[in-house]
Amino acid sequence: MNDTFFVPNETEMAALGKRLAADANPGDVIFLEGNLGAGKTTIVRGFLKALNVQGAIKSPTFTLVEEYTANDTLIFHFDLYRLKTQDEILEIGLSDYLIDDAICLIEWPERAIEHLPQASRYCTIEIPDDGKGRWITLR
């Protein structure tokens, strides 16, 4: 079932992350899809803050993955945008992070879809023509 709704601003995008965190369980894989600047990392920041992750929450654009711990649960945040080849996907050891007792938040999952399990949730973000707000589809 799809749930599509409008999010007017960055504060509400972070609140969406909090909503996703409330429903997340160890073993979940959440795909975040959308163009550059759509707000994927903003959602992740809201998600992690809702779970009381302390310290800086960084975008893994250059590191490809950032690791956090919340309530004894590992959380891996991936940004696969820079991956260009299947060899690069294998080099980062993506499958090593996909463990049953961790939560994985994956930006740009289409870059490695052949190497990923079925997602627990999909969050698709669309930027309207006027650039104001975002349309979100959760499935």
Has domain 3-138 been given CATH number 3.40.50.300?
A: yes
Evaluate if residue 129 carries a pLDDT over 80.
Answer: yes
- Using pLDDT thresholds of 50, 70 and 90, give the confidence band for residue 61: confident
User: Whole-model pTM?
Assistant: 0.94
The structural domains of the chain, with segments of one domain joined by +, span 3-138
Alpha carbons 73 and 131: distance in angstroms, whole number: 36
Residues 43, 20: contact at Cβ < 8 Å?
yes
- E strands within the chain? 3-7, 29-33, 65-70, 73-79, 102-107, 121-126, 134-138
Residues 72, 52: contact at Cβ < 8 Å?
no
